[in-house]
Amino acid sequence: MDFDRQVPLEGCFNFRDLGAYVTADGRRIRSRRLFRADGPHALTAADELALASLGLVTIIDLRTPEEAEERGGYDAVVPDVTVHSLPLVDVLPEHSDLDRWVDPAIVAARYRTMLDGASAAIAEVLAILSEPSAHPAVFHCSAGKDRTGILAALVLGLLDVPDETIVADYALSGAAMTKLIAHLHERHPDSSAVLEQIAPAMVAAEPETMTRLLAGIRADFGSLEAYAATLGVPEASSALRAALLTR
């Protein structure tokens, strides 16, 4: 039976387990150790129980401070957790610019710009996740697709998960974004016009986007391991594998 990686929650829509992915050498990511997610949009009492059952000890918040202040964090309902605020961008793109966030070449270029501008934050995230005691952990942004997708690709790649799996994991966010948009329409009916404007960019999770990003990193650095070394975390790949992989 296929591994069910979606964590079913009522108040967020893209919370899923990165476990069970198989690496190139046949090892497997441990389940219920590392999660990727969107933000806590409208958590319910049932969600609190579900999140508590995960036993999270680390939350990595990739959102801007303004997003976190406006929308709150998982730590409001998850007890005894350490939160690391490590924004990947300083400001979010303007709504008027989002109509261009559907072309894979443009989106991949924007992702690369995020990477290049957030080297210190990414290095710290990799260092945190390399510690076995940091797990179970979740990293998240607001939608769980772009910033979270970039970081998930890096972590999976450093774990030696094949590109086709990384790309497929990225593409899973498309369906989740459709659910998120429906939720936002229900919660903010007066903002329907804005939501319609940004919806195409929100649901765009084209496989080509992630394929381009990974190829670009390797073209410039030779490998993801070499890229991590330039960030000052040369042991990230081996440490992540020791913390998260099993045979």
Q: Would you say residue 153 lies in a domain?
A: yes
For residue range 1-28, list pLDDT tens digits in order. 368 899 999 999 999 999 999 999 999 9
Whole-number pLDDT of residue 3 = 82
Give the model's confidence band at 94: pLDDT under 50 very low, under 70 low, under 90 confident, else very high.
low
The CATH code of the domain that includes 226 is 3.90.190.10
pLDDT for res 1: 39
Number of domains in the chain: 1
E strand residue ranges, the chain: 16-17, 28-29, 34-37, 58-61, 82-85, 137-140, 245-246
- What is the C-alpha to C-alpha distance for residues 89 and 126, in angstroms, rounded to an integer? 17
Q: Quick one: average pLDDT of 225-229?
A: 98
My answer on whether omega of the bond before 136 falls inside 30° of 0, hence cis, is: yes
* Of 37, 93, 35, 42, residue with least CA distance to 71: 42
Q: Look up the domain containing 107 and give its range.
A: 16-246
**Helix (H, G, I), strand (E, B), or coil: what is residue 83?**
strand
pTM of the model: 0.95
Residue pair 99/200 in contact (Cβ under 8 Å)? The answer is yes
Distance CA 149, CA 167 (A): 10
Asked whether residue 198 carries a pLDDT value surpassing 70, the answer given is: yes
pLDDT in tens, 175-192: 999 999 999 888 888 888
**Is there a domain that residue 7 lies in?**
no
| Residues of the chain above pLDDT 90, percent | 85
